[in-house]
Amino acid sequence: MGYLSQKKKQARIKFFFEFAAFFSVAFTVGVFWDLPITVKSHITDWYFQYYLLMLALFGAALYSKRFLPALTILLCIIINFVRLGVSTNIFLNTPSSGDAFLTVVYQNHLQHLDESLSASSKEEADVIALNADNRLSALASRDYQLFHNENLLDKSFIYSRLDALHAGKVHFSPRYEASYLSFDFDGHKGLLLNVDFSKLAAEEAAGLYNNLTEFVLEQNLPVIIIGDFGLPSWSDTFQNFLLKTGLEIKNRVILSDGSGLFNPFVRPSLNVLGYKTMGLKEIRFLDKADNPSHPLLFQLIL
């Protein structure tokens, strides 16, 4: 490569990393700035992906020995790490010193109930929290009891090998219902709520989360909520919900909507919420077979 070509290449590289540093600063300022609602919504939806992009840019700047842009990007990474870390667990699940392990399989957009029951049985799951877009026919299982008196299963339902203290359904809006199961497992009592708000529209969020908050606060048992919450955990609506209820996010960020094992282009909205001393040991995707989404196995530490 000739001298002039090499000089032009270095100029392009220099411009790229200077722009990357400017972008990182502008984005970080935007996170804390009072921006128009559409821009703020975009940043909220894709916050984690932008954070990962900054990590990649930092690595590339170091590799190219562009230390000043790298230092600028690193500072932005630290600021955003703190901002995200206040809202959620970024890369690790919440540990716990508890001695009881409750295995829950969660699946949404269910179409083939028999396949989900079979996969859960192989994993010896204690609870199977299921959500269907269309009505399904109930199936008997030798391992699990269905805790809803319906011949046709509509939207949200739970199978379990546990003896339930109480079970039922609750409506949070005209379009959204959730199933719940209160249990006594190894001396640990709690209420497990199974939700699927994956198609939640922005205009529905405030009313639904107000109703969800009221439901949680009315319970006299520790509450655990598993499912797709329809919002990233760092959104204002979700953070207000956590603040009012005292619940905490127990899982790392899950970059998937359940249809695949990993998808960097989805809003992370799958979460496990629980009380302060509860932990999460494991998250694992099971084989989805002919269903459109994978069952997710969560091993809770009570």
Q: pLDDT truncated to tens, each residue of the chain (302 aa)?
A: 566 678 888 889 999 999 999 999 999 999 999 889 899 999 999 999 999 999 999 999 999 999 999 999 999 999 999 999 999 999 999 999 999 999 999 999 999 999 999 999 999 999 999 999 998 988 989 899 998 766 668 899 999 999 889 999 999 999 999 999 999 999 999 999 999 999 999 999 999 999 999 999 999 999 999 999 999 999 999 999 999 999 999 999 999 999 999 999 999 999 999 999 999 999 999 999 999 999 999 999 99
> Is the C-alpha dihedral spanning 33, 37, 42, 44 positive or negative?
positive
| Widest distance between CA atoms in the chain | 79
What whole-number distance in Å separates Cα of residue 118 and Cα of residue 153?
Answer: 18
CA angle 154-217-191, nearest 5°?
Answer: 50
What is the distance between the alpha carbons of residues 135 and 153, in angstroms, rounded to a whole number? 5
Neighbours of 10 (CB within 10 A): 11
Please return the burial class of 75, using the count of CB atoms within 10 Å of its CB with bins 0-12, 13-18 and 19+. Answer: middle
Of 246, 244, 270, give the one whose Cα is nearest residue 256. Answer: 270
Tell me how many helices (H) and strands (E) the chain has.
7, 14
At residue 291's C-alpha, the angle toward residues 295 and 209, to 5°, is: 55
Distance of CA 135 to the CA centre of its chain: 25
Pairing of strands 127-132, 101-110: parallel
> Can you tell me the distance from the alpha carbon of 240 to that of 60, in angstroms, rounded to the nearest whole number?
37
Continuous segment of H or E residues that includes residue 4: helix 3-32
Q: Which pLDDT does position 71 carry in this prediction?
A: 97
Predicted confidence at residue 148, as pLDDT, reads 74
pLDDT computed for residue 292 by the predictor: 96
Give CA separation, 185 vs 11, 54, 165, 167, 235, in Å.
Answer: 64, 43, 10, 15, 33
Write down the pTM of the prediction. Answer: 0.93
Which amino acid belongs to residue 6?
Answer: Q
Length reported for the chain? 302
- Cα Rg for the chain, rounded, in angstroms? 22
CA dihedral angle for residue 45, residue 48, residue 51, residue 53, rounded to 10 degrees: -90
